[in-house]
A = this chain, B = another copy of it.
Amino acid sequence: MSRSRISQVVVTPVAFGDPPLLNVVGVHQPYALRAIVEVHTDSGLLGLGETYADEAHLARLSAVAEVLPGHDPYDLHGLRRLVTDVLGRETGGGGASFGGMLDVDSAVDTVYSPFEVACLDLQGHEAGVPVSDLLGGAVRDRVPFSGYLFHKWAGHPGLPDDAWGEALTPDQLVTQARRMVDGWGFGSLKLKGGVFHPDRECEAIEALRDTFPDLPLRLDPNGAWTPSTSLRAADRLAGVVEYLEDPTPGIRGMAEVAAGTDVPLATNMCVIAMEHLPPAIAQGAVQVVLSDHHLWGGLKKSALLGGITDVWGLGLSMHSNSHLGVSLAAMVHLAAATPNLTYACDTHYPWKTEDVITDGVLSFEGGSVAVPTTPGLGVTLDRDRLGELHEQYLSCGVRRREDTVYMRSIHPDFEVNTSRW
């Protein structure tokens, strides 16, 4: 049996409309960027991946894409070595699309990730099994997601209001939540905080609790608070939130908060790479880690994170940036095949109106997505849509995620809210 080899790799940057969602560093730009990675084999198969699309990241993706032809899609260790070699000494962070919220020491994990996902998609097609099977098999046939609530403006300045409308008050957030729950069936809710004073955000959580007495709630201020403010908020929200995500920045700060409250602390900021686990665990800094295959270096490394959290008795949830359907498919397969991923996953999916995949596979019912059972990721690239979103990328002018820069173009005095309160 002759082994198939990678014959061609295409990286296509795309842009899709994104509402003015507010966060600790500013506001989402009118367009979110993603890169769609196509990995073709000489046997005629196509594997898909999706990742960030900041210019620096695109340059790294292209450099890897160039040397991939001839590589065996099963050789993931070799792929990682290849990415490491290509990036060479140039492994600084900042290329990934975190809008200034995160910094990783090395770009290897984020650059490797979409190629790994595409190779697993290929392996699935080759073997005739879904990606979840390559990760040990689905332990659930549907993956639950949480409704992701944002403070937001009615629309981008200078553009018509979007369909969601303004959400700056607790009441408006409740209306947004109602729409999420009614339209998508979400069985839990997450509020992106760090935008207003902690009291106001706690008030919003309490308003959500009153309106949805049975839904688990999460609040994520993205490190906007000091440890003492975090402790006061934890006291106020004890028994109300299932976890508090990154109330304060850094492992040390989180450990200080964790020592003073029984409210579980989650993170996607102070533990975002394997090397953060030993100090975070030693200091008891967090009780729930958010996985994210884009950030943690692919699906297999995210499965390793799942195993580690299981061994150390930590909770496991899943983080999301603005994303399209290829990422959603990968997230669903990973979540389905991770036994201890018992929290509903985050997703920005409801906030977008465009995609690059064919409709019909990944639909939300009761807040969850059925795990595709066809080979690979189970999603199909719609080339017309890909072309349109690429054209949009070319014409929209956005080249990197810059929430703070965009916010300051509207409110010149805006200061990032990290540890502000």
Contacts and interface: CB of A to CB of B under 8 A. Distances in A.
Interface string A67-93: 000001011111001000000000000
B277 A311 contact: yes
B137 A76 contact: yes
A274 B304 CA distance: 13
A387 interface: no
Interface string A116-147: 00000001001111000110111100000000
Which range contains the number of A residues in contact with the other chain?
35 or more
B278 A311 contact: yes
A1 to B, nearest CB: 4
A337 interface: yes
Interface in A138-186: 138-139
Contact of A77 (B127, B274, B308, B337): B337
User: This chain: how many copies in the complex?
Assistant: 2
Interface in A268-326: 274-275, 277-278, 281-282, 300-301, 304, 307-308, 310-313
Contacts of A139: 77-78, 81
Contacts of A372: none
A375 interface: yes
Given A1-B128, A278-B311, A278-B312, 19 more contacts: A1-B375, A72-B133, A74-B129, A74-B133, A74-B134, A75-B133, A75-B136, A76-B136, A77-B136, A77-B139, A77-B337, A78-B137, A78-B139, A81-B139, A127-B127, A136-B300, A274-B310, A282-B282, A304-B307
Interface of A: 1, 3, 72, 74-78, 81, 123, 126-129, 133-134, 136-139, 274-275, 277-278, 281-282, 300-301, 304, 307-308, 310-313, 337, 339, 375
19 contacts: A1-B375, A3-B128, A72-B133, A74-B129, A74-B137, A75-B133, A75-B137, A75-B138, A76-B136, A77-B136, A77-B138, A77-B339, A127-B127, A134-B134, A304-B304, A304-B307, A307-B308, A308-B308, A308-B311
